[in-house]
Structure 1
Amino acid sequence: MLLIDDLQMERDILPLFNFTHQEQSEDALRRLFDERPPTPAAVAERQAILQAFLRNWAVLADFSYSVLYFRGAQSFMHEVQSGRLQLANGAKARLQFFFSEEKRHQIQSQVVQLVIFLERLQTHYLTRLNPADFPSAFRAELTAATAFLSVFNLGAQTAAVRENAFTTSHILQTTNAVQKLTAEETAAFWSFLFRFEAYWSVAKGVVQHQLCFAQFDAQQFVIEDLYHPLVPQAVRNSFQLRPGENVLLLTGPNMAGKSTFLKALSLCVYLAHLGLGVPATACTLP
């Protein structure tokens, strides 16, 4: 059992990495901090994913979207796939809307939010990434998400929105595209999006706080320029245990920073084993 209560991960450390836009992505971010990778290979994979985000930072630095449109998109897809919203085809749909202008405006608003939200993800971010930078498992999820978005013909749909020419036909095309997707495909897309945003949020924390990624070596425990990220203008310290050493006596007067140093060291070790960035310029540890 890990005794990490003194690190105040939830209260103090998570906010340093939390740049998410909504609750479901924040939950995915929290899982990155709560669920330790079970093997060294899994730790390395997390590091590789984050490093891939950083290699694509020119694309991802301004990652953002309208939360209102996100909620509208998620709600519309759920209503269609759950059967709560059913539209007739062709002339019948036009007749439905003819007798209920309010309903047409309501559904059109939801569909437009869906189209604009998905088109931004597609054209601004996902299709501009270099898939080869990512580990194979994450790359496969990225490819699946891109294929999911391609179902919607978002370029033509968005052009119609911008030209104020979004008609009943466009509504039906989008609705039919949603209906053709399985619930599993949709759930997988949202799950990927939330984890994608969680990794992006950690990567932004790495950039903002100038963190590094640890290397692992059973014979070395060396950390250079270690600091606690919550201390303003922190004094950086370096730390080393030589092979065969496993005890260090830390001395100093009251208020010299012993407790802060120990918390910084513990935080560095814990974040390293999560596969996340650590507050140092270099870090090698067992």
Structure 2
Amino acid sequence: MYLLTDEQTIEDLRIFGKRDSQGLFDLYNHSHTRGAEAVLKEMFTKPLSDQQEINRRSDIIKSFSGMNMRFPFEGALFDMAEKYLLAADEQKKQGTQQAVLSEKEISNGVTALITLVQQIKTFIESKEVIAMASYTKEREAIASLLLDTAFEPVMREQQKAKLSYAAITAYDLLFRHRERDKIERLLAQIYQLDVYLSVAKVARDRKFVFPKALEKGKSILRLKGVYHPELAKPVSNNFSMDASHNVVFLTGANMAGKSTFLRSVSTAVYVAHIGFPVAAEEMEFSVLDGIYTTINLPDNLGIGASHFYAEVLRVKKVASELQANKSLFIIFDEMFRGTNVKDAHEATVEITIAFAAKRNS
């Protein structure tokens, strides 16, 4: 189950960077492999909406953070292994038997995979990993793959020993054809591990907190010392909401930091649903069905929509989700700024009354 959101929210929260600036994704991305980077990007695109899954992922990363464990593989091994495996796909795409890789590249790919298979076995058999209750599901999945009798010769190979031509040919058949699916599943587990260790390092270095996900539907949000993680000298704030106080009006002078505060809170809510640590001292939250923000709403001139009409469409979208009894976290920054003050005031009051009646949001 994934958290409902949209491009407007992702843009408002600057989840992904642009040419001239980094995004939230870049702050958490310290991965060693391209595969892990792709996994991390998917996690940021699809936050979770399941209490158990959020807390389980958070517990795994928290455990790794406390262990101060480094990624136990060389990044160069993945470059060789991925190039080697992708070559088989290229051959199939071209519909040719002609070799895409040189003998040396095949040898490098085979050797890299042997090393990775042996090293992941060593990793899951370490005392520290066996003791990690939160990582049991992943550890058992890896162990199950490695128990296949096809991998027995791989385990017997001496590390850095030169392989014969016959051995390379046999392993090539094993890795790229007979057991290709298992190899890809092993790599997927390693990429996920890379993400966990990467985010654990961010939590440790930046002293981020691991939020506690609560049952869905109770509309609880408690934040202590929340701040925006991308600011060099942030100002932290406390914030709380519940079912009896589920609407907040934020007021203040221009340039007082209102929009930054809105981004700080909504960023924490978004990242917490990924199961990642957040920029705060403490946080607990009821799991939501979705998050929608309207902080920098552009005119949609492509469909002839004015700013006011774009706001109306935005409100309609959120209202339809609330009508479907979804638990949502919603932010509107200066609602209906595209029209006159009187109309904006009246519309804001009516919409706020209607939204406030939805106690699960």
Q: Secondary structure at the match of 2:278?
A: coil
Cα distance in 1 for partners of 2:281, 2:270 equals 16
- Please show how residues 32-71 of structure 1 align to structure 2 within 5 Å: 32-55=43-66, 57-58=67-68, 60-67=69-76, 69-71=77-79
TM-score (norm 1): 0.75
Q: Determine the structure 2 residue equivalent to 1:112.
A: 111
- The residue type equivalent to 2:280 in the other structure is A
Between Structure 1 and Structure 2, how many residues are aligned? Answer: 262
Identity fraction in percent: 21
Mean CA deviation greater in 144-153 or 24-33: 144-153
Cα distance in 2 for partners of 1:117, 1:235 equals 44
Residues 205 and 144 of structure 1: CA distance in aligned 2, closer, same or farther (over 3 Å): farther
| C-alpha deviation, 1:225, in angstroms | 0.8
Residues 142 and 250 of structure 1: CA distance in aligned 2, closer, same or farther (over 3 Å): same
Establish whether residue 139 from structure 1 lines up as the match of residue 139 from structure 2: yes
Residues 146 and 131 of structure 1: CA distance in aligned 2, closer, same or farther (over 3 Å): farther
Q: Deviations over 1:103-139 (max 9, x none)?
A: 765554444344444444444x443222642355323
Cα distance in 2 for partners of 1:213, 1:267 equals 14
Q: Determine the structure 2 residue equivalent to 1:151.
A: 152
| 2:219–2:246 Cα contact (<8 Å) kept | no
Cα distance in 2 for partners of 1:106, 1:242 equals 59
Q: Determine the structure 2 residue equivalent to 1:249.
A: 249
- Please show how residues 150-189 of structure 1 align to structure 2 within 5 Å: 151-154=152-155, 156-158=157-159, 160=161, 166-168=163-165, 171=168, 174-175=171-172, 178=175, 181-189=178-186
Cα distance in 2 for partners of 1:182, 1:253 equals 64
Cα distance in 2 for partners of 1:130, 1:283 equals 29
| 1:272–1:278 Cα contact (<8 Å) kept | yes
| 1:49–1:134 Cα contact (<8 Å) kept | yes
Of 24, 32, 40, the match for 1:13: 24
Q: Secondary structure at the match of 1:151?
A: helix
Query: Whose relative contact order is higher, 1 or 2, with alpha carbons under 8 Å and at least 6 apart?
Result: 1
Cα distance in 1 for partners of 2:176, 2:225 equals 55
Cα distance in 1 for partners of 2:35, 2:74 equals 14
| 2:224–2:280 Cα contact (<8 Å) kept | yes
| 2:208–2:278 Cα contact (<8 Å) kept | yes
- The residue type equivalent to 1:73 in the other structure is A
Q: Determine the structure 2 residue equivalent to 1:201.
A: 198
Root mean square deviation, CA, Å: 3.3
Q: Determine the structure 2 residue equivalent to 1:127.
A: 125
- The residue type equivalent to 2:212 in the other structure is Q
| 2:107–2:168 Cα contact (<8 Å) kept | yes
Residues 20 and 151 of structure 1: CA distance in aligned 2, closer, same or farther (over 3 Å): farther
- The residue type equivalent to 2:13 in the other structure is L
Cα distance in 2 for partners of 1:80, 1:127 equals 32
Cα distance in 1 for partners of 2:138, 2:113 equals 25
Q: Deviations over 1:34-74 (max 9, x none)?
A: 1132422222222233234334x34x33545133x323223
| C-alpha deviation, 1:159, in angstroms | 5.3
> Where does structure 2 lack aligned partners over 5 or more consecutive residues?
18-22, 287-361
Q: Secondary structure at the match of 1:19?
A: coil
Task: Choose between structure 1 and 2: higher helix proportion.
Answer: 1
Cα distance in 2 for partners of 1:172, 1:215 equals 51
- The residue type equivalent to 1:265 in the other structure is V
| 1:127–1:146 Cα contact (<8 Å) kept | no
| C-alpha deviation, 1:238, in angstroms | 1.3
TM-score (norm 2): 0.61
Q: Determine the structure 2 residue equivalent to 1:74.
A: 82
Cα distance in 2 for partners of 1:255, 1:158 equals 61
Cα distance in 1 for partners of 2:257, 2:74 equals 42
Residues 110 and 236 of structure 1: CA distance in aligned 2, closer, same or farther (over 3 Å): same
| 1:157–1:170 Cα contact (<8 Å) kept | no
- The residue type equivalent to 1:44 in the other structure is N
Q: Determine the structure 2 residue equivalent to 1:22.
A: 33
